[in-house]
Amino acid sequence: MKLIIMTKSTFFVEEDKIISALFDVGMDILHLYKPRALPMYSERLLTLLPDDCYEKVMVHEHFYLKEEYGLRGIHLDDVSQPVPEKFKGKISRTLGLEDITKEVKKRCDYIFLKDTFSALTPDGGSFITDRLQQASDNGMIDKKTYAFGGVNLENIKLARELGFGGVVVDDDLWDKFDIHHQIDYKELISHYERLAKAVKA
């Protein structure tokens, strides 16, 4: 399985240092997700990262950044968002279960299944897992489908069992760093390494 990290939705002081450190310990793909942020702030963050990391970054907005910085590709946040005209490069897209079709998947390098585990209760949430199992049995979940929403260290194994090709982690990682009171992000990096190990297990 693949492990994708999505940025916090807001910018913060230590962000470039943490992202660089994550790349140093093996992060393969970062999704730059800053909804409604001015492009200049995304540009500033990118300029603070090592150049050799750009090919591992997918951008959710301001798609011109893909060409300007040689980024990996673009991410479309819903089923109706069109692919930019004449775009060449990697494309991913966020979909709900009801939106997944072979045709849509064919036009993407991979898709995020939104809210995969967001409603999962501590006991496993049988309704949610039954629905996901049915989707897996119907071929809707495969190596091009990545679990997104509520993914954490505890349910990565379930994602693998359901046949997901990868997982997208956001809050479970960023909650390990208090942007208002911390400057030491060792705990966050250690948690990333645990996530990476769980994905490879």
Least Cα distance to 150 among 113, 108, 177 occurs for 113
**Span 34-44, average pLDDT:** 97
Domain that holds residue 103: 2-200
CB 51 within 8 A of CB 20: no
Q: Which residue has the higher pLDDT, 79 or 23?
A: 23
Task: Please tell me the predicted confidence (pLDDT) of residue 174.
Answer: 98
Task: Please tell me the predicted confidence (pLDDT) of residue 166.
Answer: 98
Task: Please tell me the predicted confidence (pLDDT) of residue 126.
Answer: 62
Q: At what angle do helices 39-47 and 15-24 cross, to 10 degrees?
A: 50
Task: Please tell me the predicted confidence (pLDDT) of residue 128.
Answer: 74
Name the domain count of the chain.
Answer: 1
Instruction: Output the average pLDDT for the chain.
Output: 94
Task: Please tell me the predicted confidence (pLDDT) of residue 201.
Answer: 84
Instruction: Report the percent of the chain where pLDDT is more than 90.
Output: 88
CA-CA distances (angstroms) from residue 53 to 21, 62, 81, 122, 124?
A: 11, 18, 27, 36, 36
Tens-place pLDDT, residues 116-145: 998 765 555 566 788 899 999 999 999 999
Would you call 40 helix, strand, or coil by DSSP? helix
Q: Which residues pair with 6 in a beta bridge?
A: 31
Q: What is the CATH number of the domain that holds 52?
A: 3.20.20.70
Listed in sequence order, the residues at least 6 apart from 11 whose beta carbon sits closer than 8 Å to its beta carbon are: 34, 37, 41, 45
Tens-place pLDDT, residues 1-18: 999 999 999 999 999 999
pTM, 2 dp: 0.94
Tens-place pLDDT, residues 140-180: 999 999 999 999 999 999 999 999 999 999 999 999 999 99
Task: Please tell me the predicted confidence (pLDDT) of residue 2.
Answer: 98
**Span 50-63, average pLDDT:** 97
